[in-house]
Amino acid sequence: MPRPGPRRAERLDKYAGKDRLFVSRDGTPLRGNTLYQAFVRARKQVGLDDLTFHDLRHTGQTLAAQTGATLADLMKRLGHSSMAAARRYLHAVDGRDREIAKALSELAAHGDIARLPRHITTRG
């Protein structure tokens, strides 16, 4: 995981707790559904009243899959114990068959991995 930039690191040092990202002003764990209430207010302000916390989780996993996360990576990120649960996020890579086939054809034609586009030859 990349290290946060200086400004973000300063904000985390100032506002986040040591064991939890979201804490109260005095550094203690948030009480009850404080975080959820803040989330509801924020989504209302931006006009996304139907957005759920689970939608954020799904989006994060989908983006991870698009960056090349493996099934094992996805399972670990969300604590899934079965491949079936993690597989639902792999829809993000559906449709990449054409891109993969083209890259394989280029590799076969040139016989040199160095000639492939960088995004094909590197992970993440």
Q: Cα 77–7–19 angle (5° rounding)?
A: 45
Tokens 């109260």 sit on residue: 24
What does 54-93 look like in DSSP terms, one character per residue? HHHHHHHHHHHHHTT--HHHHHHHHT-SSHHHHHGGGGGG
Calpha distance 58→1 (Å, rounded): 19
Tokens standing for residue 111: 């016989």
For residues 55 and 110, the answer to whether their CB atoms sit within 8 Å is: no
Tokens standing for residue 4: 């946060």
Q: What is the pLDDT along the chain (124 residues), one digit of tens a residue?
A: 455 566 777 777 777 777 777 888 888 888 889 989 999 999 999 999 999 988 888 888 888 887 778 888 888 888 888 888 777 777 666 666 677 677 777 767 776 666 655 655 455 4
pTM of the model: 0.53
- The pLDDT, as a whole number, for residue 43 is 93
